[in-house]
């Protein structure tokens, strides 16, 4: 089933026109579907429970994503000549940013609690804990990948191969 899902993501990407920023990236919906399938596989859910889980998980992730977007600082909130690093912000800007973070954290906790009750209708508490732990692992993987890409840009390397030599026909080994 996971193989089929991966194929669907690749096929869906092939049908899309390549935009300036897209670079064949999966959509948020495709990412949620892949994460859902990873959790279903990890928990070993039967088909009926897996279908219910996927439905609820999609709603949960959508609400969490909406909250993240809602509290993203607007570019106009910061002066153009100042980077958005805390040491270069005014006290008022830092105060606003901190209060927004507190509000966001409260709302995210409310969403987690709401969906804990939803997940508990068909998962055990230990299974729900694994769902939330997997979410944290996904977040860490995402941040690690973003740091890696950022480092590659700083080093002037492309997203492709790190070697400047072209691939050889004999399995990629230089002759």
Does any domain span residue 172? no
Q: CA-CA distance, 128 to 60, in Å (whole number)?
A: 12
Does any domain span residue 21? yes
Prediction pTM value: 0.63
Does any domain span residue 166? no
- Give kind and range of the element (H or E) at residue 90: none
Whether the CB-CB separation of 26 and 13 falls below 8 Å is answered with yes
Print the domain residue range for 57.
Answer: 2-74+84-155
Cα separations in angstroms, 140 against 7, 52, 63, 108, 119: 25, 26, 19, 17, 23
The tokens for 117 are 């009750």
Does any domain span residue 160? no
Does any domain span residue 61? yes
Does any domain span residue 35? yes
- Establish how many alpha carbons lie within 13 A of residue 7's alpha carbon, considering only the half-sphere containing its beta carbon: 4
- Establish how many alpha carbons lie within 13 A of residue 41's alpha carbon, considering only the half-sphere containing its beta carbon: 10
Q: CA-CA distance, 32 to 62, in Å (whole number)?
A: 9
Q: Per-10-residue mean pLDDT for the chain, 175 residues long?
A: 45 48 77 93 96 97 92 58 62 92 95 97 96 84 81 68 44 44
Report how many domains make up the chain: 1
The tokens for 148 are 């890696």
What is the predicted pLDDT for the residue at 22?
53
What is the predicted pLDDT for the residue at 127?
96
What is the predicted pLDDT for the residue at 81?
47
Does any domain span residue 161? no
What is the predicted pLDDT for the residue at 49?
97
Does any domain span residue 12? yes
Backbone φ and ψ for 97, nearest 5 degrees, come out as -65, -45
């Amino acid at each position: 089933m996971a193989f089929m899902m991966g194929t669907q993501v690749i096929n869906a990407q092939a049908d899309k026109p390549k935009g300036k920023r897209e670079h064949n990236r999966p959509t948020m919906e495709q990412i949620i579907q892949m994460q859902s399938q990873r959790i279903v596989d990890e928990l070993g859910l039967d088909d009926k429970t897996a279908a219910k889980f996927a439905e609820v998980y999609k709603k949960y992730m959508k609400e969490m994503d909406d909250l993240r977007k809602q509290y993203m600082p607007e570019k106009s909130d910061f002066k153009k000549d100042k980077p958005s690093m805390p040491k270069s912000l005014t006290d008022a800007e830092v105060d606003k940013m901190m209060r927004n973070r507190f509000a966001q954290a409260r709302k995210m906790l409310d969403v987690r609690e709401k969906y804990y009750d939803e997940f508990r209708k068909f998962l055990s508490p230990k299974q729900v804990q694994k769902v939330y732990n997997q979410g944290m692992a996904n977040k860490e993987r995402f941040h690690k990948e973003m740091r890696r890409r950022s480092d590659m840009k700083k080093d002037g390397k492309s997203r492709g191969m790190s070697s400047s030599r072209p691939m050889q026909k004999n399995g990629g080994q230089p002759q």
